[in-house]
Amino acid sequence: MAETEGPQLAIERIYLRDASFESPRAPEIFEGTWNPQVQVDINTRSNRLDEVRHEVVLTLTLKARAEDDVTMIVELQQAGVFRLQGMDDEVRQQALAVTCPNILFPYAREAVDALVTKGAFPAFMLAPISFEALFAEARRRREAEGAGDGVIADDRSVN
């Protein structure tokens, strides 16, 4: 059997690494009108497991506030093990910071929605995230600061 040439990315496993839900104002919060301000923080990071396998972790933190009170907090780590072969460092960086988080995001979005609705709140559908734009922005910032090459894992807030 001939080996395929060129870059290869394969999913070995996708899993929920950690999840928590808090509703500090329940049940009082259910008596009023639900019109919260929602903040979503996003972070990605990767860990090299061996020569070709990497764990990528997408962390989402969602905080909902009504007036000055926190009404709901969801913290979630959606992770995956990916096999990356035949890639130079630049392509590998982009795969770990863009392609892998794009693969993980739909799983994280569904898990957040499930936690929110099980907490008796209205369904919450996270808007799509451009990991490519976040990667490009982080790269521009690193170049402006004169930082060396490395995997770009960057905290981002999406409101």
Q: What is the C-alpha to C-alpha distance for residues 46 and 100, in angstroms, rounded to an integer?
A: 10
Phi first, then psi: what are they for 112, rounded to 5°?
-60, -50
Encode the chain (159 residues) as per-residue pLDDT tens digits.
455 678 899 999 999 999 999 999 999 988 888 889 999 999 999 999 999 999 999 999 999 998 888 999 999 999 999 999 999 999 999 999 999 999 999 999 999 999 999 999 999 889 999 999 999 998 898 888 875 544 444 444 443
Q: What is the C-alpha to C-alpha distance for residues 24 and 72, in angstroms, rounded to an integer?
A: 7
What top-level class would CATH report for the domain 18-158?
Answer: alpha beta
8 Å CB contact between 13 and 83: no
Helix, strand, or coil here: 80?
Answer: strand
Where along the chain do its domains lie?
Answer: 18-158
